[in-house]
Amino acid sequence: MTSDAIDTAVRQAREVMDGFMVAFNAEDADAMRKRWFNFPHVRFHSGRVTIMERPEDFHSTVWERLGEAKGWARTAWDYV
């Protein structure tokens, strides 16, 4: 693989990750369901496993701002 091809692949991967984060921070459930998740979707988080069989099953507990997420305002990558 050439360095140009690697640079292109890295740029495209970063665009995907950034696009996901923009949709998540915008609380855009429709975009999350249609563009960013595949279903069934399995999520490992907070010592639990959540399985969403259909797009309608998606919801974000962070957006509900309950418990630890009470003061949530946005999410960001620590590093990519």
Q: Is residue 1 over pLDDT 90?
A: no
| CA dihedral of 45, 47, 49, 50, whole degrees rounded to 10 | -50
Q: How many residues does the chain have?
A: 80
pTM over 0.85: no
Give the Cα separation of 76 and 66 in Å (integer): 19
Smallest CA-to-CA distance from 32 within 13, 61, 6, 60 is with 60
pLDDT in tens, 35-74: 999 999 999 988 999 999 999 999 888 999 988 899 999 9
Q: What is the end-to-end Cα distance of the chain in Å, rounded?
A: 21
Round the CA-based radius of gyration of the chain to a whole number and report it: 15
Q: Is residue 80 over pLDDT 90?
A: no
